[in-house]
Structure formats: structure tokens, C-alpha cells
Chain A
Amino acid sequence: MSVGSRTAQIESARLRAGPLQVAGTVLSIKRVGDYHHLTMVAAGIAERTQPGSFVALAVGGAHSAMLLRRAFSIYRVRSSGVYGGTVEIVFATLGKGTEALSRLRPNDPIDVLGPLGRPFALPKQAVPCVLVGGGYGSAPLFGLAERLRDRHCQVHMVLGAATASRLFGALEAKRAAQSVLVTTEDGSVGIRGRVTDALPDLIDRTAAQVVYSCGPMGMLAAVTEVALAHGAWSQTAVEESMACGVGVCMTCVLPVIGDDGVTRMVRSCVEGPVFRGERVRWDAVGTVPVDTLGAPRGGRHG
């Protein structure tokens, strides 16, 4: 085989799988409660997207002073249509980057990288599943619900937030799931309390085998504990701050236990964002546990 055709083969293999970097454009941006719902035209990403994968967006143009990409779970994709393939995300304005993204207007250019990361694992059998979303963490659960229903799994949803305006998708959840529970910490809508207050009974009642969750770290830790205590698997999509989204910057690491029982600092962008809940050392997030592979002796690297 000539070098040329081998190169062509490698080239086409690269184009078939893996993430794309797409010069996209904004199709629409809308306020939804306290959040922004951004729809982008970005050809090719929809076809590769699986529930739980994410996109990393560049902020500003080619000379932006904000260099780091912002990562967002994919809410919805459409592979074709009037505008070509679209990708949708939901986000809160938490800093300068998300504020800049919230000022985008239709037809603005946006550099989209995706789909990235490992998606949710789907059950092989048609088992009942509970999907738990905290705040806009519910966004990736709707695509997941669709895939689970395709597999004839029963889908039950729990959406929680501090207050009503920080819930996302409560109406859509009614279409997506057999049952929906809503919790707010201030009681402004649904059950007053947290998702984990409603979860034990729901798992028992539905005989759920898998609990999927996406939201803040503390919620994921608590959901995992409840799921395991009630005999269900836990699949968690973490939200960790990232710089690149593709596995080269090493800033989004978490202590995660591997198949061999060894804890490693793993990149949540490429080995996650979805992890089996019992594998993440939730209480040690933000530290390097002493038994981590390559952990510094005496607490600090020399």
C-alpha cells in the first residue's frame, strides 16, 4: 500500500469517528427561567451525539481574551432540517464566559467542539430507570429518556432545584417520562426538599435498576449513595471545570477507582463525564487521596 493511500485511510478513519471542530452559527437563544437555551447550527455533531456527551464552546472570536472553552451537556440535537444539523444546550450565567455566551444573537459565529466524552451506559434489558436532574443538569436527561424508551425501559424522572425558576424541563419531563417528581428547596413548586428526599421511595416503588443523574457534585454523591443503598446502579454525569474538553490540559481530574481497584486522577472530559457513581471518590473530590496512583509521599509533590 502506498503512503498516500495509507494517509487517506487514516484521514477517513479520523473523519468517521470522534469529535468535530465546527465553525457554527447561533440559530436562537432564549431565556428559560434563570437559564439560557442556546441552539446552534453545527453540521455533523448531531449524528455522533449520544446522551451524556457534551460540547465545548469557544468564547468570543479568534482573538478573544478568554482562551478556555466552556463545556456544556448536550440538551438536544437534530441531524437535519431547514438549517442543517443543530445542537442545543442550556446554561446558567456563572461568570464572564457564560455572560458572553448569553449575549450571543442569531447568526453570530460560534466555534463548536463535540461531541465529547463518554456517554451514559444503557441497560441491555428493558429495566425501570430513574433519571435525576439538578437545576439545568436535567438537560441531557431528555435525550437519554428517549433512548431508554426506545429500549422499552420504564422512565421516571426527578427534577430538583433551589427554587422554581431554577428548574429546567419540568413540562417536557411529563412527556418524556412515565412519572415526574419535582422538588424545590424553598418549596416554591413540588415537594419541599431535595431530590434525595424523594428518591428512596421512588426507587423502591418502581423497582428501578439504574439511577441516572446529572447536576452538582454534592447531589451526584448523595444520589449515588441512595441508589446503591436501594440496589440500583448509579450513572452520574459530572460537571467539572475544564479548559480544553479533549483530554490535553489535565485540569478536570477526579479521583476515580478503576477496574483494578486502584484510584487514579482521571480526566472527566475523556474518561467521563459519565462515571459509575460508586467509582468516584466523592468525599475526596478536590484532593488527591493518599492511596492514589502516584500520589505525593508526605502530602506534596517535591
Chain B
Amino acid sequence: MTMLEASGVDLTTSVAGATLPNPVMTASGCAASGRELHQFFDVADLGAVVTKSIMLDPRSGRPIPRMAETPSGMLNSIGLQGPGIDAFLATDLPWLLQHRARPVVSIAGSSLGEYAELARRVGNDPGVTAVEVNISCPNVENRGLVFACDPYQAAKVVSVVCRETPRGVPVLAKLSPDVTSIVDIASSVMEAGASGLTLINTLLGLAIDPGTMRPVLAGVTGGLSGPAIRPVALRAVWQVHEAMPDVSIVGVGGIRTGRDALEFMLAGACAVQVGTVIFNDPSAPIRIVHELADELAARGFAKAADAVGLAHLARSGRP
């Protein structure tokens, strides 16, 4: 409401059937479960809080070093450290609901059975705004190959999750850019029942320390994130929106300012997530809500929803 008064722009957005007061979310793995960032802004003022990916059991994650700074970005190899679903449902999710945040719960499994159980338990907890499926995990039942990189495996995970998630709770599939055709993966997970897409996860990268002459990360390779990957993410949103204009897309990858967020909306995203930039500026998500409102107002938009996909229309000469 304050947004409406401040800039005159209606920021309300609909993501795969879920109505959010504004399009800005945190990105999974960059905001823990919201509590730490609540020291800097009210988590209820965001469109949604996307939790760090939850797995079935507690998980220690990988050894350090887990992080390497790269130009305008970073590599991470955390290994999905987390408390497991029991502790998450007992502590983290109630905290988010108590603080009137809209939780989008990211789930990650190492087998179809794990995804199914996570979807059932998370989806049946009242108050969950949406489930986001992190499919960039190795499949222990398929030689450790990452689900996200194979259209068939990606679709299988999504179909299992959709089957177990109650109607009315949208399921967002978060896709990896490390594929030959992201449009092919997108269409197979949509056919499998996904309600919408989150584009994109990190890109696989490597850093070597010339001093030790060894990889910097204990896990050798890591996921590249931050402004360095923004053009890749924007391209993915553009391509998928062009192929499937009716699909809800949540754009994520290196968003640092309201202008960046606007770029993603123009490319076809109905919402955006702010990730790595939080490490630089813990207030970034709320700052970007305000900046996006100003950017939209400056261009004469009455509603944020009117900007979604507009870059495609302008190209073909339509309004």
C-alpha cells in the first residue's frame, strides 16, 4: 500500500496464480530463512521470501573454502547445508508466517522419493505461498547426474512434486542455464505440471589460486552468481517468454538495482529474485522494491504487470 502512495504504481503481481504485493523476492540460498535480513528491513514488505533449499535430513554441507569472489560475481560450493525438513517446519516456516512474510519454500532432493516427501510435507503446511523446486541437484539414482540438465529427468521430478503438492499451491521449477536449450527444458517441466518457472540457477564455474596452483573451492567447481551472469539470465527469460508467453516466469540472476529488475520484467518476468547482491547490501531486496516502483513511475506505468514482456511487443511494432 505504501508503494502505491509513494510512486502511484500498483506493484501487485500474479505468479502462477499466487498474488503478491510486489514482484521482488529473495533468491534461494541468499537469505537463509529470512530472519537474518529482518534486522535490516521488514520481510513482510517483500513480494515473497524464498528459503534456502530444504532437504529431508540435516546436512553439514561441504568443507571450506566454499566461496570465491570473481569479477562482478562469486562462485559458491556450499553443498546445501541445512537443518532438514523437520527443523525447518518446526522453526523457520512458523517464524516467516509469524512475521507475515509470504514464504516460497525451495526444496531439494537427491532422489524422486525425497522430492515427493518434501513436496507433500511442505505443500500441506498452510501458509506456504509456493513451492520452488531446486532441480540442480545430483540424482543419486542416476549416476549423480543433475536432474536439471536432462529434460526427461527434470520433468520426472516436477511431475512427482506436482502430484504431491495440494492444488492451489503453485509449483515453480528453477532451471539451470547449463543446458543446450533452456526452452526445451522449460517446455518439458511445464508439460509435467509446473505452475511456473524460476530462471535461472547459477552457472557452473571454476577458480584456481595461482598461489597454491589448486582450485580455490574445496568442492573444486562452484555455482557462478552475481551481476556477471545477468545477461545470461535475461537471455533465458527472453527466450522462454518468447516461446511460452503465458507461462509465469520469475527472473533471477545478478539483479542489483530496480533498473535491473525492470529489464527482467520487460523481458517477460512477472516477478524477480534478488540473490548474491544481498551479500553486498543486506537491504538490497527492499531497496529494489522502491527503485523498481520509481523506474516504473518514471516510464508512466500505472501497474507493474503492464511492463511484463513489453520488450517483445515493442520489437514487433505493437504498443
Task: List residues of chain A with CB under 8 Å of any chain B CB.
Answer: 7, 10-11, 14, 18-19, 21, 58, 62-69, 97, 111, 113, 240-241, 243-244, 246-254, 264-265, 270, 285-288, 292-296, 301-302
Contact = CB atoms under 8 A, between A and B. Distances in A.
B136 interface: no
Nearest to A96: B69
B107 to A, nearest CB: 16
Closest 7 pairs (CB-CB, A-B): A294-B58, A251-B67, A244-B279, A294-B59, A302-B140, A294-B60, A18-B39
Interface string B282-317: 110000000000000000000000000000000000
Contacts of B72: 65, 67
A4 B144 CA distance: 51
A14 B81 contact: no
Interface string B261-282: 0000000000000001111111
Interface of B: 29-32, 36-40, 42, 52, 57-67, 69, 71-74, 76, 78-82, 84, 99, 110, 138, 140, 144, 218, 226-227, 256-257, 276-283
A264 B58 CA distance: 10
Nearest to A243: B279
B281 A14 contact: no
Contact of B65 (A10, A19, A241, A296): A241
Nearest to A18: B39
Interface centre among B37, B71, B276, B281 (most CB of A within 10 A): B281
B193 to A, nearest CB: 26
B81 A265 contact: yes
A11 B64 CA distance: 36
Q: Is the interface of A mostly helix, strand, loop or mixed?
A: loop
B218 A286 contact: yes
B279 to A, nearest CB: 4
A68 B278 contact: no
Given A113-B282, A253-B81, A294-B61, 19 more contacts: A14-B39, A21-B40, A21-B282, A21-B283, A66-B69, A67-B73, A69-B280, A243-B74, A244-B278, A248-B30, A248-B279, A249-B67, A250-B81, A251-B66, A253-B61, A285-B64, A294-B60, A294-B84, A302-B140
Given A111-B281, A287-B63, A246 B81 contact: no
B72 to A, nearest CB: 4
B36 A288 contact: no
B69 A68 contact: yes
A253 B276 contact: no
A292 B140 CA distance: 21
Contacts of B42: 7, 10-11, 14
A268 B61 CA distance: 15
Given A113-B282, A253-B66, A253-B81, A65 B58 contact: no
A243 B39 contact: no
5 contacts: A68-B280, A244-B282, A246-B37, A253-B81, A265-B81
B275 to A, nearest CB: 10
B63 A288 contact: yes
Contacts of B82: 294
A67 B39 contact: no
A68 B61 contact: no
A63 B254 CA distance: 12
Interface centre among A7, A287, A294 (most CB of B within 10 A): A294
A16 to B, nearest CB: 11
Contacts of A253: 61, 64, 66, 81
B280 A265 contact: no
Contacts of B227: 65, 67
A286 B64 CA distance: 5
B222 to A, nearest CB: 10
B280 A251 contact: no
Nearest to B33: A248
A246 B282 contact: yes
Nearest to A247: B36
A203 to B, nearest CB: 31
Nearest to B278: A248
A113 B76 CA distance: 22
A240 B64 contact: yes
A301 B279 contact: no
Interface centre among B38, B140, B256, B278 (most CB of A within 10 A): B278
Given A244-B279, A265-B61, A67 B69 contact: yes
A248 B69 CA distance: 16
Contacts of B138: 302
B34 to A, nearest CB: 9
